[in-house]
Amino acid sequence: MSDIDAVIAQLPKAELHIHIEGSLEPELLFALAKRNNVRLAYPDVETLRRAYAFTNLQDFLDLYYQGMSVLLKEADFYDLAMAYFRKAASQTVRYVEFFFDPQGHTARGVAFETVLAGLTRAQADAEAQLGLHSRMIMCFLRHLDEADAERTLDQALKHKEKIIGVGLDSSEVGHPPSKFKRVFRRARDEGFLLVAHAGEEGPPEYVWEAIDVLGVDRIDHGNRSLEDPVLVKRLAKDGLALTVCPLSNLRLCVVRDMKQHPLRRLMDAGLNVTINSDDPAYFGGYMNENFAAVAAALTLSAGELTAIARNGFAASFMPDVEKQHVLVPLN
Ligand code: ADE
Ligand code: ZN
């Protein structure tokens, strides 16, 4: 292990951009398919893993939604989340805000309550057994219409105390944040915090809309903000955090080479960046691998990596008292 990898391995980390369904490893996917008698389009783990060669976001999403077909019962969501929490804890991740995609499940006839029950039971066990605290963010699928998102928000209102915020994910281009203006306004009025994927494949205008039309508290990805210097100034002035996902960007061909990853340019512009795994089972790495990949490609120092880890806790939706406590080892 290199010196910098040793630094990363012991660094306390907060993960703010992880789709829990994107942590479904092929081995668990096949085990759940067997348990639930679900027929898969791939004969075995190796063949499926070989299909994880994406050329863009949609390519990945097509497989991601197929993968979800094995998640049917409360125990499936529990097993999914628990496997992720174990992995995260083993990488000194101390705090997690994870996304889930209820519409990806309710559209298949799985009850919203089934999803939530499995995930919240795993959260409680992760807290008790691993000392890993987490909060959850419900994402709307942006390729669906706003009315579908409105119905999903209605379902979430009964469970407000379990869900800290709402987000926006799935196919970005052609589905700007403004398409969800009303449902985000209502979510805000109901007390949810707001995030949105923007500037992953979509243009800087989508980041502007996420900020000015939706009023988000954080931007997921945001890479393409660099194309608009006025936007960069605005993000810097507001200190709005970006949840950057290096291995995801590489695997989805958002960047050609890790050496060209925009993380360092975002840092140099004074932006509040964090490092996250996005869909670790599909993109070849969890938190430590994401930190290590950019550290090596962009020669980030131990001090810079520590500052990024600190940003993760600071940009989280933890109450301030909790934040002060967890930030102590990073100060
Ligand atoms: N859903 C899961 N991962 C995603 C990503 N990287 N971008 C948009 N939607 C997603
Ligand atoms: Zn994402």
CATH code: domain of residue 166: 3.20.20.140
Position 165 pLDDT exceeds 90: yes
The number of the ligand 1 atom at minimal distance from the alpha carbon of 64 is 2
Residue 79 one-letter amino acid: D
Query: What is the token pair recorded at 41?
Result: 């389009």
Please write the tens of the pLDDT for every residue from 193-232.
Answer: 999 999 999 999 999 999 999 999 999 999 999 999 999 9
The number of the ligand 1 atom at minimal distance from the alpha carbon of 248 is 6
What's the pLDDT at 149?
A: 99
Find the domain containing 158 and state its range.
3-330
Ligand positioned closest to the Cα atom of 98: 2
Integer angstrom CA distances of residue 307 from 192, 255, 315, 323, 330: 28, 23, 12, 15, 8
75: CA distance to ligand 2 center in Å?
Answer: 24
How many domains does one find in the chain?
1
Indicate the SS3 state at residue 94: strand
How far apart CA 264 and CA 310 sit, in angstroms, is 16
How far apart CA 238 and CA 69 sit, in angstroms, is 40
74 is catalytic: no
| Structural contact between residues 124 and 84, judged by C-beta atoms closer than 8 angstroms | no
Position 328 pLDDT exceeds 90: no
Of the listed 21, 97, 200, 201, which one is catalytic? 200
Position 79 pLDDT exceeds 80: yes
What's the pLDDT at 331?
A: 82
pLDDT category, 324, cuts 50, 70, 90? confident
Position 93 pLDDT exceeds 90: yes
In 3D space, the residue among 226, 275, 284 whose CA is nearest the CA of residue 246 turns out to be: 275
Angle, nearest 10°, between helix axes 302-314 and 320-327? Answer: 160
Query: What is the token pair recorded at 195?
Result: 């995030």
| Structural contact between residues 232 and 272, judged by C-beta atoms closer than 8 angstroms | no
| Structural contact between residues 274 and 243, judged by C-beta atoms closer than 8 angstroms | yes
pTM, full prediction: 0.98
| Structural contact between residues 277 and 99, judged by C-beta atoms closer than 8 angstroms | no
7: CA distance to ligand 1 center in Å?
Answer: 29
Position 325 pLDDT exceeds 90: no
pLDDT category, 166, cuts 50, 70, 90? very high
73: CA distance to ligand 1 center in Å?
Answer: 23
